[in-house]
Structure 1
């Protein structure tokens, strides 16, 4: 343009536009063609600084094509979900999270437009709008995973999901049933589901693992159940078996001799026929579902006088706590729980007041023993009671 002032540099060029602002141009390192800067600058110095930074990024191989991130998040996320190898239930869960929490606030944005500030605003709007914290945490985790792929694909240079603590939330302390309460619920729930309650409490299997058990997975002689699969349920109601989440999920879990009779009775009366018959089936022969068992659990919990805050899953929590209190190490807890990391197992290594008092008592015993070995025995004269004059 005739009225645009320009200056040549060793790398690229800057010029002043009719508006008075300054524009930069530089050679695209991938094509060699001259490209204009994405923005203009108020002063020549600002433009030259921006050009210097771009040159430095190119020399360090850290330059990213500004046009690469010009793809809508909704389109990129759809491709991310389509191309990723996921369990069917996980894919469904991610699709729901995208639809309900991510796309309404960010789906229309280009990948390059999603900044840390926009991520913070999106997250705050979800929480202020009444979304539960666990749901927002899962949405943030999914968005971060998608944006990590955008970084790997060199669409952006850095993941904008950088909010400290946004990927976790405080889980409230769950109720721990006593052994007496466990058996009270088992008594109240009736013979068909009695073994399910007891086996859950004393093996700490997940609901899906219990629902997927077959007759051949139960060894009454050696008092073991072998976890080989996990039942999943889609929103459509379709049930299917899938492999455990990790290799640690394939495991044998021992149960106490005190419930062998209950399991033997259950196998005789209620389990499906044949070695591959499901261990737990409904009264009409259907597979075990959370929905058709929930009412039975609530009625039994109420009849047994157990807290209404206690969920069926808390039987697993109860069993893990009992195992920890009775000497299970972190590694042993990990094996029983089917976890490959120590994080969950360490939760159950917390101190209870009874265990803490027992430790204090043993410490006191050690103190008394040490002092008795060091102090001389009191002399007879020292033990005489003095008489008043």
Structure 2
């Protein structure tokens, strides 16, 4: 039946008892819906209806009912519905959501989120002392959640996370050790962890990888270590699973000088069973990351060698840097480090190329014509400073 709006073919406008005007229109599924807002005049309501009509025609219409879901609930389901996430990643996401996102934005419906609101949330985090690195992690999680709301669930027309630089952590450069310092650190550890430090460094192994090695994974006759599994520590305990990525499944060659130390370690601390763990705690239990510093007196050891604040992961960082300085190709570095992206390998190559340039510059200053040539003899009669 024609309505009072000039025989419109899309939706209608009705006057409410309050005197305001509300639009009604069919969605793409044919079901009639009320507009989310009301308007003080009929022309304004008709204009809003025309906008909705255009959105439906272009396939850009968003169901306002779906936009009413709270961010907290949507993000929680988002995490639960990502089966390929590693357990530690799930724990991190849930912690970020509960600690840094939900207390501020969790009660906001998705349709009400705006870039200004996200910008204010981030500023509040930083103002309360949350590190730039942690704020960046929370921002990236929020952006990923809302990107799904845009691209897959058609709840939002665009992602409100549009703050330049908010996703960048820019962490401080982690320290590295030279070869002498690596051996000094190993010597400061209890003897059962001497080989652990050397192998983690010079084979570029992650903590979960080196602690999940079994006797069968070491082939000292050909100097290789096979990485086929890794421990992941969660609040509920330690889980044994595949490495961080498919590229993490690898066989790494080790320096010949490590072989005697590994043979000694196997003889002194590892059972004959091929499934015996290579590195364990003093009582033979799995070497938990959460207990590692206490068991090994790590903080005392790194302080003694003049590297307070050194993390175990910095051993892998050291090994990667040494490997890059050998002149290895990007692909070879990726294979050794267990990365399926070349970004990390390129970073190490860039760092070592800068170091190599610094060496060349230092040599240049010592060569004829360089910046630090020995000064010429002063002209006859010139004043020469005493001493």
Q: TM-score by structure 1 length?
A: 0.84
Instruction: Describe the shift of the 1:37–1:8 C-alpha distance in structure 2 as closer, same or farther (beyond 3 A).
Output: farther
Which whole-Å CA distance do the structure 2 matches of 1:260 and 1:80 have between them? 47
The structural deviation recorded for 1:15 is: 6.2
What is aligned with 1:255?
Answer: 254
Q: What SS is found at the alignment partner of 1:348?
A: helix
Residues 20 and 39, structure 2, Cα contact 8 Å, conserved in 1: yes
Aligned pair partner of 1:63 in 57, 61, 64: 61
Partner of 2:71: 73
Give yes or no for contact 2:302–2:309 (8 Å, CA) kept in 1.
Answer: no
1:310 and 2:310 correspond: yes
How big is each residue's C-alpha offset from its partner over 1:358-382, in whole Å with a ceiling of 9 and x where there is no partner? Answer: 5569999xxx9xxxxxxxxxxxxxx
1:245 alignment counterpart: 244
Compute the TM-score of the two structures, normalised by the length of structure 2.
0.84
CA RMSD of aligned residues (A): 2.6
Secondary structure of 1:231's counterpart equals strand
**CA deviation string 1:140-184 (max 9, x = no partner):** 222222222322122222222222222221021111111111111
**1:203 and 1:254 in contact (8 A); partners too:** yes
Change (3 A) 1:110 1:273: farther
Between 252-261 and 35-44, report the one with greater CA deviation: 35-44
Distance across 2 between alignment mates of 1:141 and 1:232? 23
Q: 1:363 and 1:53, CA in 2 relative to 1: closer, same or farther beyond 3 A? A: farther
Q: Secondary structure at the match of 2:102?
A: helix
After superposition, residues 119-130 of structure 1 pair within 5 angstroms as 119-130=118-129
- Aligned in 2, Cα 1:362/1:44: closer, same or farther, shift over 3 Å? farther
Aligned to 1:107: 106
1:42-75 superposed Cα distances (whole Å, 9 cap, x missing partner): 6655444433221111111221111111112222
Partner of 2:52: 54
Task: Supply the distance in 2 between the matched residues of 1:261 and 1:123 (Cα, whole angstroms).
Answer: 53
Match of 1:356 in 2: 357
Measure how far apart 1:254 and its partner are.
1.0
Number of the residue aligned with 1:376: none
Question: Which of the pair has more CA radius of gyration?
Answer: 1
- 1 CA distance for matches of 2:216 and 2:5? 82
SS in 2 for 1:333: helix
Superposed CA deviations along residues 271-314 of structure 1, whole A, max 9, x for unmatched, are 244101111011111111223321422222233x2221322211
Larger displacement relative to structure 2 (191-200 or 24-33): 24-33
Q: Deviations over 1:78-107 (max 9, x none)?
A: 322333313333322222222111211111
Match of 2:377 in 1: none
Question: How big is each residue's C-alpha offset from its partner over 1:10-29, in whole Å with a ceiling of 9 and x where there is no partner?
Answer: 53445677877654343333
Structure 2's unaligned 5+ residue stretches are 370-387
| 1:299 equivalent in alignment to 2:281 | no
What residue number does 1:82 align with? 80
In structure 2, the CA distance between the partners of 1:361 and 1:189, relative to structure 1 (3 Å rule), is: closer
Alpha carbons of 1:89 and 1:272: their partners in 2 closer, same or farther (altered >3 Å)?
farther
Give the conservation status (yes or no) of the 8 Å contact 1:272–1:280.
no
Corresponding residue SS for 1:349: helix
Separation in 2 of the partners of 1:208 and 1:160? 37
Distance 1:233 1:32, change over 3 A: closer
Measured at CA, do residues 66 and 259 of structure 1 come closer, stay the same or move farther in structure 2, by a change above 3 Å? Answer: same
- Offset at 1:192? 1.0
Q: CA deviation at 1:255?
A: 1.1
Seen in structure 2, the aligned counterparts of structure 1 residues 273 and 166 have a Cα distance that, compared at 3 Å, is: farther
TM-superposed deviation, 1:188: 1.9
Aligned-partner Cα distance in 2 for 1:136–1:187 = 38
Asked whether the 8 Å contact 1:68–1:156 carries over to 2, the reply is no
Give the whole-Å Cα distance in 1 for the aligned partners of 2:328 and 2:193.
Answer: 28
